[in-house]
C-alpha cells in the first residue's frame, strides 16, 4: 500500500515547494484516494480556512478532504473574525496555529501568505493568491495524467490571462518537464519573475513558450486550458479586458487546430462565451468536471502528506 511521505518543505505556498518526485507522489496518492484504495484516518486534526476571497471548489473540497481524513475544518471568515478589523497577520497566525494543525489561506498578496507562514508554527497551504494557485495545478496535472497516463510528450496550451492559474501551470510544468505554451494578449503575459524561475527549473528550456498568438499555440496541443480574463480583485478591468482579449476565446475553430484527442480544461468558475464557448465547455472533449472533482482527491493527498 502506498503511504504518504513527509514533504521536505513545511509549507505549500508555491508549486515549487515540492520536488518533482513529491509532486508525482501526491498525484499517485490522490489516485489511490479517488479509487478508494487508501483509507487514512488522522484523528482530531484541524484545518483552519482563512479565505479573503470567495470560493466554492477550494473551500468545499478542503472541508470534505479533511472530513474523509477523520479531521475537521474551522472556517475562519475574515468578516466575522478580527482579521477584517486589521489584527496583524503575525498575531493572527501565532494564535490560530496554536489551535489548528494546518492553515489553508486564500488572499490577495503572496507576501501576506508568506507573512502567515513566517509566523505560523503549523504548515500553511496556498489556497490561491494573486500570484499562484498551486492546489489547482495539482488537480490539473492529476486530470492530465488520468487522460494520458504520463506526461511524456504532452503539450499543454493555456489561452487567456497570464494570471495565478497560468503561473502555477508554468511552475508545475517546469517541475514535471511538460511542454507549456501560454498564449495571451500583449501586456497580459505571466509574471516575469516566475517565468525566470521556471526556466531555471526546466531541464529543457524550449518546453516553455510564451506567445501572443493563440492560433499557433494550439497547434498539435493535447490539453487546451483557459480561465477567466479578469480574476477576483480585477473586476474594474472587466470591460477593458473583454476588448483586449478578443480572439482569445477557446471556440471550436481553435479546438480543431489542436491534436484530435485534445482535452479541454478550465479551473472554474467560467464565463461562457467569454474565455470559452458553451459548445466547447459542454463538448465530449471537456474534462472540466473531472478536474473539479480532482481538487478533492489532490488536496486529500496533500493534507495526508502534510499532517502525518
CB 232 within 8 A of CB 164: no
139 binding ligand NVA? (CB under 6 A)? no
β partners of residue 12? 125
CB 88 within 8 A of CB 166: no
Q: Is the dihedral of CA 269, 231, 301, 56 positive or negative?
A: negative
What is the contact surface with ligand CP in residues (CB under 6 A)? 55-58, 128, 136, 267-268
Instruction: Considering only the stretches 148-156, 224-232, 245-253, 276-284, report the one whose residues sit in contact with ligand NVA under the rule CB under 6 A.
Output: 224-232
Diameter over CA atoms, the chain: 54
Beta-sheet pairing, 179-183 with 155-159: parallel
Can 68 be counted among the known catalytic residues? Answer: no
Q: Is the dihedral of CA 28, 284, 132, 87 positive or negative?
A: negative
Q: Closest Cα to residue 132, out of 102, 164, 87, 106? A: 164
231 binds, among ligand NVA, ligand CP, none (CB under 5 to 8 A by kind): ligand NVA
- The distance of closest approach from Cβ of residue 128 to ligand CP in the complex, given in angstroms and rounded to an integer, is 6
Among 163, 167, 277, 299, binds ligand NVA (CB under 6 A): 163
Closer of 220 and 269 to ligand CP (Cβ) = 269
Among 42, 232, 244, 270, binds ligand NVA (CB under 6 A): 232
- The distance of closest approach from Cβ of residue 138 to ligand CP in the complex, given in angstroms and rounded to an integer, is 12
231 binding ligand NVA? (CB under 6 A)? yes
Closer of 69 and 135 to ligand CP (Cβ) = 135
SS3 103: strand
Instruction: Show the cell assigned to 270.
Output: 467560467
Active-site position among 57, 106, 181, 287:
106
Among 208, 267, 292, 303, binds ligand NVA (CB under 6 A): 267
Closer of 15 and 164 to ligand NVA (Cβ) = 164
Can 112 be counted among the known catalytic residues? Answer: no
Q: Closest Cα to residue 230, out of 245, 211, 212? A: 245
- The distance of closest approach from Cβ of residue 197 to ligand CP in the complex, given in angstroms and rounded to an integer, is 22
Can 227 be counted among the known catalytic residues? Answer: yes
Active-site position among 17, 57, 130, 133:
133
What does the alpha-carbon distance between residue 102 and residue 110 come to, in Å, rounded to a whole number?
18
Instruction: Show the cell assigned to 255.
Output: 479546438
> What x-and-dash track marks residues 96-135 binding ligand NVA by CB under 6 A?
--------------------------------x-------
Q: Closest Cα to residue 58, out of 226, 233, 296? A: 296
What does the alpha-carbon distance between residue 192 and residue 162 come to, in Å, rounded to a whole number?
10
165 binding ligand NVA? (CB under 6 A)? yes
Residues that bind ligand NVA (CB under 6 A): 128, 163-165, 227-228, 231-232, 267
Amino acid at each position: 500500500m502506498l503511504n504518504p511521505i513527509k514533504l521536505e518543505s513545511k509549507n505549500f505556498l508555491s508549486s515549487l515547494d515540492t520536488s518533482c518526485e513529491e509532486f508525482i507522489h501526491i498525484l499517485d496518492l490522490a489516485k489511490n484516494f479517488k479509487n478508494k484504495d487508501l483509507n487514512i484516518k488522522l484523528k482530531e486534526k484541524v484545518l483552519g480556512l482563512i479565505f479573503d476571497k470567495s470560493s466554492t471548489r477550494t473551500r468545499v473540497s478542503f472541508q470534505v478532504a479533511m472530513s474523509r481524513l477523520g479531521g475537521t475544518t474551522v472556517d475562519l471568515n475574515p468578516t466575522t473574525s478580527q482579521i477584517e478589523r486589521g489584527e496583524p497577520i503575525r498575531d493572527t497566525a501565532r494564535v490560530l496555529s496554536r489551535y489548528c494543525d494546518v492553515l489553508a489561506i486564500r488572499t490577495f498578496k503572496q507576501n501576506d501568505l508568506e507573512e502567515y507562514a513566517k509566523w505560523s508554527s503549523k504548515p500553511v497551504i496556498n489556497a490561491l493568491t494573486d500570484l499562484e494557485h498551486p492546489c489547482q495545478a495539482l488537480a490539473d496535472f492529476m486530470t492530465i495524467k488520468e487522460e494520458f497516463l504520463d506526461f511524456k510528450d504532452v503539450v499543454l496550451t493555456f489561452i487567456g490571462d497570464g494570471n495565478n492559474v497560468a503561473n502555477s501551470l508554468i511552475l508545475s510544468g517546469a517541475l514535471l518537464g511538460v511542454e507549456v505554451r501560454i498564449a495571451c494578449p500583449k501586456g497580459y503575459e505571466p509574471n516575469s519573475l516566475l517565468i525566470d524561475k521556471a526556466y531555471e527549473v526546466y531541464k529543457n528550456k524550449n518546453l516553455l513558450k510564451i506567445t501572443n498568438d493563440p492560433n499557433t499555440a494550439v497547434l498539435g496541443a493535447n490539453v487546451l486550458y483557459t480561465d477567466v480574463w479578469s480574476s477576483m480583485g480585477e473586476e474594474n478591468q472587466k470591460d477593458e479586458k473583454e476588448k483586449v482579449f478578443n480572439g482569445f476565446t477557446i471556440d471550436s475553430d481553435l479546438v480543431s487546430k489542436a491534436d484530435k484527442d485534445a482535452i479541454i480544461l478550465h479551473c472554474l468558475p467560467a464565463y461562457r462565451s467569454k474565455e470559452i464557448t458553451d459548445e466547447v465547455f459542454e463538448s465530449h472533449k471537456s474534462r472540466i468536471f473531472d478536474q473539479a472533482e480532482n481538487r478533492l482527491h489532490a488536496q486529500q493527498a496533500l493534507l495526508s502528506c502534510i499532517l502525518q
